[in-house]
């Protein structure tokens, strides 16, 4: 089922026309409102008259995460706080967090794009969904909740955590759909096994997973363990939370709601647009939001884009799975490394668990080292040192052949890497840089 055929199956020219019209209105809105953008646009001589088509978006300035941090807490809002209905806050590691404000129109839009995403994933009105994303300042729980209500699903608002209770609910209520982070879905599989819950008999049919990078290999692992179809959903708080883009059952990229979120893929160094198919930084402009409008927001997420019509009938452009983040990329001895590359290798090796951590450090000689901590499956663990060393060397060789950089692999005991109920922490960078 396609939730909004008119929006999701627009012709390329019809989409471009709508985007152009909405961009002009957006520039009008931000120029009329005192504050951040009015000053910025006035300084560069841009007004609504400067925008005659969507291509004119390139005249507009980019917006960065730092801009939002500097405007903490409410200075990016274009409505008075009394007209803002909901606030969310992103967890940052340095400086001020980013606060986002949604007007009632924005919440309605959020419900709409999540309803589209749920349909894209295969949900139907009347289905039951277990929402195990965190409810609260994180946008995952409430976003999936609003969209599920809009589509006419029965929501079980579990939030994250209390894993045994989640699994009892699964066993007793038999919901068809699960929504949570992919790492939590794996953690739940582990706990289900311990509790004697059978994935084949009780498992969800569809999983809607996102909020953190996950590889195709991890998808396979989740699908095998749960016997479900694992669908990728993407979004970020600054734009709307989850619902910016979502896969359909063909799993050939995530359909982006481009009538409301205009996507560009740029070279993060030159800031120039890249051709379809080339990976670069995703830049998004929410065209219709009113609480906290943004122009050309630099997401730091690396994707490529495909404008061909999908077999599912939707013409909305598709972004690739997120390859990594410009700031999650670790540079070790000059080589750019994304955790997802290592994840792909590990999951292809029999005996390893999909739980791992990368530790980067700098030696006294100034050289960086990368250590990969890998969990072995219970049945592969041994007390024999020689056997473990051989295993470590084999994994290191396979990673080195993909990354072209030397790594040290350390096998750790089953369940010794911390599990996560939300976003998992894959990198520990001990270098003070
Ligand atoms: O993670 C919103 C969300 C909730 C998306 C639930 C999907 C499902 P933030 O906490 O602001 O918002 O984090 C946004 O998470 O810029 C990406 O780096 C990463 N991310 C989100 N979805 C995916 C995904 C939510 N499907 C940041 N694959 C984004 C890879 C993702 N990374």
To test the pocket of ligand 1, the residue of 64, 100, 210 to mutate (highest count of ligand atoms within 8 Å of its CB) is 210
Of 53, 106, 110, which Cα lies nearest the Cα of 84?
Answer: 106
233 CA closest ligand 1 atom index: 26
Domain limits, the chain: 1-327, 330-429
The pLDDT-based confidence of 329 (bands split at 50, 70, 90) is confident
| pLDDT > 90 fraction of the chain, expressed in percent and rounded | 81
What average pLDDT does this structure show over 425-429?
89
Q: Is the CB of 325 under 6 A from ligand 1?
A: yes
**Model confidence over 219-277: pLDDT tens digits?**
999 999 999 999 999 999 999 999 999 999 999 999 999 999 999 999 999 999 999 99
Q: Are strands 128-131 and 154-156 parallel, antiparallel or unpaired?
A: parallel
Mean pLDDT of the chain: 94
Per-residue pLDDT averaged across 9-32, rounded? 97
Looking from the CA of residue 144, the nearest atom of ligand 1 is: 6
Contact indicator for 97, 90 with CB cutoff of 8 Å: yes
Of 345, 343, 338, nearest to 355 by C-alpha is: 343
pLDDT classification of 284: cutoffs 50, 70, 90: very high
- Cα 207–211–212 angle (5° rounding)? 100
**pLDDT tens digits for range 99-121:** 999 999 999 999 999 999 999 99
Residue 298 has a pLDDT of 97
Task: Give CA–CA dist 230/258, Å, rounded.
Answer: 23
Q: Which atom of ligand 1 is nearest to 244's Cα?
A: 5
- Confirm or reject: Cβ of 182 under 6 Å from ligand 1: no
Buried b / exposed e along 341-366 (16+ C-beta atoms within 10 A):
ebbbbbbeeeebbbbbbbebeeeeee
Q: Which pLDDT belongs to residue 92?
A: 60
Question: Which 3 state secondary structure label does DSSP give 194?
Answer: helix
CB 189 within 8 A of CB 198: no
Annotate 13-69 with DSSP letters as a single string: HHHHHHHHHHHHHHHHHHHHSTTHHHHHHHHTT--GGG-SSGGGGGGSPPB-HHHHH
Cis peptide before 73 (omega within 30 of 0): yes
At 98, is the pLDDT very low, low, confident or very high (cuts 50, 70, 90)? very high
Measured from the Cα of 423, ligand 1's closest atom is 1
Question: Does residue 324 come out as left (phi exceeding 0), alpha (psi in the -120 to 50 range) or beta?
Answer: left
> What's the rounded mean pLDDT across residues 124-133?
98
Q: Whose CA is nearest to atom 4 of ligand 1?
A: 140
Q: Ligand 1, from 110, 234, 238, 268: best to mutate by most atoms within 8 Å of Cβ?
A: 234
Looking at residue 334, its pLDDT comes to: 76
Pocket lining: 213 vs ligand 1, CB cutoff 6 Å: yes
Mean pLDDT across the stretch 165-188?
96
Give the highest mean pLDDT range of 154-168, 359-373, 376-390: 154-168
Mean pLDDT of 110-138: 97
Alpha helices in 263-316 (DSSP H): none
Tokens representing 154 are: 């029965």
Lowest mean pLDDT among 9-18, 130-139, 351-360: 351-360
What pLDDT shows up at residue 93? 55
Superfamily for domain range 330-429: ANL, C-terminal domain (3.30.300.30)
Answer whether 97 contacts ligand 1 (Cβ < 6 A).
no
pTM of the model: 0.91
**CATH 3.30.70.920 assigned to 1-327:** no
- Identify the residue whose C-alpha is closest to ligand 1 atom 9: 236
User: Residue 178: which of 193, 188, 190 has the closest Cα?
Assistant: 188
Q: Which residues of 100-121 are buried (b: 16+ CB within 10 A; e: fewer)?
A: bbbbeebbebbbbbbbbbbbbb
User: In sequence order, what are the residues at sequence separation of 6 or more whose Cβ sits closer than 8 angstroms to the Cβ of residue 258?
Assistant: 15, 19, 316, 317
Residue nearest (by alpha carbon) to ligand 1 atom 14:
236
Whether ligand 1 lies within 6 angstroms of the CB of 133 is answered as yes
Q: What is the mean predicted confidence (pLDDT) over 162-176?
A: 96
Angle at 266 between CA 251 and CA 344, to 5 degrees: 40
Q: Over 80: is that where the pLDDT of 328 sits?
A: no
* pLDDT of 433 higher than 70: no
Indicate whether 60 pLDDT > 60: yes
pLDDT for 347-356, tens place per residue?
A: 999 999 889 9
Q: How far apart are the CA of 196 and the centre of ligand 1, in A? A: 32
Confirm or reject: Cβ of 242 under 6 Å from ligand 1.
yes
Same fold, 1-327 and 330-429: no
Query: What is the 422 CA–ligand 1 centroid distance (Å)?
Result: 11
**Contact status, residue 326 vs residue 320, Cβ threshold 8 Å:** no
Whether the CB-CB separation of 12 and 29 falls below 8 Å is answered with no
Q: Are 193 and 322 in contact (CB under 8 A)?
A: no
Looking at residue 273, the DSSP 8-state letter turns out to be: B
Tell me, using a 6 A CB cutoff, whether residue 103 lines ligand 1.
Answer: no
**Helices and strands of the chain, counted as H and E runs:** 12, 21
């Amino acid at each position: 089922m396609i939730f909004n055929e008119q929006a999701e199956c627009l012709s390329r020219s019809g989409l471009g026309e709508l985007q152009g019209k909405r961009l002009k209105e957006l520039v009008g809105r931000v120029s009329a409102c005192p504050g951040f953008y009015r000053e910025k646009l006035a300084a560069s001589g841009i007004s609504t008259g400067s925008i005659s088509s969507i291509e004119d978006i390139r005249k507009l300035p980019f917006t960065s995460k730092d801009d939002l941090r500097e405007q903490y807490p409410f200075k990016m809002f274009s409505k008075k706080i009394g007209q803002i209905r909901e606030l969310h806050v992103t967890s940052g590691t340095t400086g001020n967090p980013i606060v986002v404000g949604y007007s009632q129109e924005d919440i309605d839009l959020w419900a709409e794009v999540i309803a589209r995403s749920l349909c894209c994933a295969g949900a139907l009105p009347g289905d039951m969904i277990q929402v195990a994303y965190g409810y609260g300042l994180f946008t995952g729980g409430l976003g999936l909740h609003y969209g599920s209500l809009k589509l006419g699903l029965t929501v079980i608002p579990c939030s994250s955590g209390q894993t045994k209770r989640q699994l009892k609910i699964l066993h007793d209520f038999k919901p068809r759909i699960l929504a949570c982070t992919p790492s939590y879905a794996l953690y739940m599989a582990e706990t289900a096994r311990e509790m004697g819950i059978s994935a084949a008999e009780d498992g969800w049919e569809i999983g809607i997973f996102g909020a953190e990078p996950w590889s195709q290999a991890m998808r396979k692992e989740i699908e095998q363990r749960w016997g479900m179809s694992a669908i990728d959903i993407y979004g970020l708080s600054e734009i709307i939370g989850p619902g910016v883009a979502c896969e359909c059952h063909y799993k050939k990229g995530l359909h982006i709601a481009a009538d409301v979120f205009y996507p560009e893929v740029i070279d993060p160094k030159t800031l120039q647009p890249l051709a379809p198919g080339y990976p670069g930084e995703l830049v998004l402009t929410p065209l219709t939001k009113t609480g906290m409008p943004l122009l050309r927001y630099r997401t730091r997420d690396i994707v490529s884009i495909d404008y061909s019509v999908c077999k599912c009938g939707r013409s909305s452009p598709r972004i690739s799975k997120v390859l990594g983040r410009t700031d999650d990329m670790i540079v070790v001895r000059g080589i750019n490394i994304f955790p997802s590359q290592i994840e792909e290798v590990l999951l292809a090796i029999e005996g390893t668990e999909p739980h791992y951590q990368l530790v980067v450090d700098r030696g006294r000689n100034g050289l960086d080292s990368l250590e990969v901590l890998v969990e072995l499956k219970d049945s592969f663990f041994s007390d024999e040192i020689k056997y473990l060393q051989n295993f470590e060397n084999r994994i290191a060789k396979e990673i080195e052949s993909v990354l072209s950089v030397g790594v040290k692999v350390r096998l750790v005991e089953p369940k010794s890497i911390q599990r996560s109920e939300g976003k998992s922490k894959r990198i520990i960078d001990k270098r003070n840089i």
